[in-house]
Structure 1
Amino acid sequence: MKHIKMTLRGYLVTGVLIWLPITITLWVLNLIIGTLDQTINLLPRAWRPESMFGFDIPGLGVVLAIAVLVGTGFMAANVLGQRLLDLWQLILTRTPVVSTIYNSVKQVSDTLLSDSGQAFRKALLVRFPHQGAWTVAFQTGMPTGQLKEQLGEEEHVSVYVPTTPNPTSGYFIIVPKSETRELDMSVDDALKYVISMGVVAPPPPAAARAQLSDERN
């Protein structure tokens, strides 16, 4: 009987390990597609699938969202489109309340998505939440202006410390660069390590992989 219970428990754990990532992946995809499908409301009611065909078409909002993004990028690539974009940005930046939100979001998005930016380009080890502990963090930039003056001559870095298992929330801290350790791993691998609460170990450093490959050859 004990052997049967252990066998059933093993089957149960194996089934959970197989279905849990699949279920979560499908749930996230459904959430994303459902959210993007709301963009179908941008179309006139007469042009919507339920009016034209009598039923909804799942995923059509995703196609429309991608088309809008690609079209906007294409329009901004020419002179006329750039002028229209500048005019639109001028209106947004001159509108009270709206300008504060727009400027803040634009600065963050430009920093994160810019090819020349350093945001989330490096995974670091930093001491957090106290000097006796280490955690994985991501470099988001360097302090400038008044912050740099107040911090003195020692070089500092701005880092984001994600929470576990939800990395979309976390803490922003500024620490001396000398007290950080740069990790030889990609941001994706570091995020997996954080989300898994340390269960999914990161791959070995490039030097260790090269040495192992030489030993095998």
Structure 2
Amino acid sequence: MFRSIRNAFITGLVVILPLGVTIIVINFLLQKLGTPASNFFFWFLDRQFRDMPAVALALEIISILVVFLLITLLGYCSRFVIGRILLRWMEKLLGQVPFINSVYRTVKQIVDTISQQNKAVFQEVVLIEYPRAHSYVLGFLTSKAKGEPQEVTGANIVNVFVPTTPNPTSGFLLMLPDTDVTRLKMSITDGMKLIISGGAVVPPGEGEPVKIENPEEARGRSGN
């Protein structure tokens, strides 16, 4: 009986979770975006009239739509010469403000990295020995290391993001020689499923893994 109740409760959670998350997101938009935007756009209206529940809700929804419309127009304008000039001018202005300039540059770098077209942030699913020998962890190859890490080590270093389980949004970055990284043929989606499920959902194997070779060793073998 208790198992049946437990299963029914879990099923109810699965059914209601999407609706609950949707309500939370809508409530967040109304409170954090709709209310301030409504006060900004409709400041000229009488305060008592704006505080009426039906009017306040309507103004908040209209304000959210206006904000989304302005963001969309900004995206279109950035494609043209005048829009690009205005954006560069704004970036220069923000770059001269202490603290704000560092925050803006950091956020911009993250957004530019994520929004790069035709280049996924996670390129491949890889397997590495961590935190000791014969102990393996799943990671995602993001890119080849450049700059000072490459110069100091004198090796071909790759960047591997190792997410935590079951929350893959947090994790840590490892810079490893490419010879210490084993590529897997599973997709990024399957790798995420494996991490989120804590190993419960294991995708089927698709053949032997491919070792990332050191380019110098590969050239040496080809020369021989």
In the superposition, relative to structure 1, how do residues 98 and 136 fare at CA in structure 2: closer, same or farther (>3 Å)? Answer: same
Is the CA contact 1:33–1:62 (under 8 Å) kept in the aligned structure 2?
no
In the superposition, relative to structure 1, how do residues 63 and 133 fare at CA in structure 2: closer, same or farther (>3 Å)? Answer: farther
In the superposition, relative to structure 1, how do residues 33 and 179 fare at CA in structure 2: closer, same or farther (>3 Å)? Answer: farther
The code of the aligned residue for 1:42 comes to A
Check if 1:186 corresponds to 2:182. Answer: no
Is the CA contact 1:159–1:173 (under 8 Å) kept in the aligned structure 2?
yes
The code of the aligned residue for 1:176 comes to P
The code of the aligned residue for 2:129 comes to R
| 1:39 equivalent in structure 2 | 33
Residue in structure 1 matching 2:70, options 65, 68, 76: 68
C-alpha displacement of 1:146: 0.8
Counterparts of 1:68-107 in structure 2, within 5 Å, are 68-107=70-109
In the superposition, relative to structure 1, how do residues 162 and 98 fare at CA in structure 2: closer, same or farther (>3 Å)? Answer: same
Equivalent-residue separation in structure 2 for 1:186 and 1:21 (angstroms): 26
Is the CA contact 1:39–1:64 (under 8 Å) kept in the aligned structure 2?
no
C-alpha displacement of 1:100: 0.9
State how many pairs are aligned. 198
- What TM-score do the two structures reach when normalised by structure 1? 0.76
Structure 2 regions of 5+ residues with no counterpart? Answer: 209-224
| 2:213 equivalent in structure 1 | none
Is the CA contact 2:126–2:139 (under 8 Å) kept in the aligned structure 1?
yes
| 1:163 equivalent in structure 2 | 164
C-alpha displacement of 1:167: 1.6
Check if 1:15 corresponds to 2:8. Answer: yes
Equivalent-residue separation in structure 1 for 2:137 and 2:188 (angstroms): 14
What RMSD, in angstroms, separates the aligned Cα atoms of the two structures?
A: 3.0
Equivalent-residue separation in structure 2 for 1:171 and 1:161 (angstroms): 5
The code of the aligned residue for 1:46 comes to F
User: SS in structure 2 opposite 1:149?
Assistant: helix
1:109-168 per-residue CA deviation (whole Å, 9 max, x = no partner) reads 111210144522322222222222212212222211111011213x22111111111222
User: SS in structure 2 opposite 1:201?
Assistant: coil
Is the CA contact 1:118–1:141 (under 8 Å) kept in the aligned structure 2?
no
Equivalent-residue separation in structure 1 for 2:139 and 2:149 (angstroms): 20
Counterparts of 1:141-156 in structure 2, within 5 Å, are 141-153=143-155, 155-156=156-157
The code of the aligned residue for 1:39 comes to L
In the superposition, relative to structure 1, how do residues 205 and 66 fare at CA in structure 2: closer, same or farther (>3 Å)? Answer: farther
- What TM-score do the two structures reach when normalised by structure 2? 0.74
Is the CA contact 1:128–1:135 (under 8 Å) kept in the aligned structure 2?
yes
The code of the aligned residue for 1:164 comes to T
| 2:197 equivalent in structure 1 | 196
Structure 1 regions of 5+ residues with no counterpart? Answer: 1-7, 208-217
Equivalent-residue separation in structure 2 for 1:131 and 1:23 (angstroms): 44
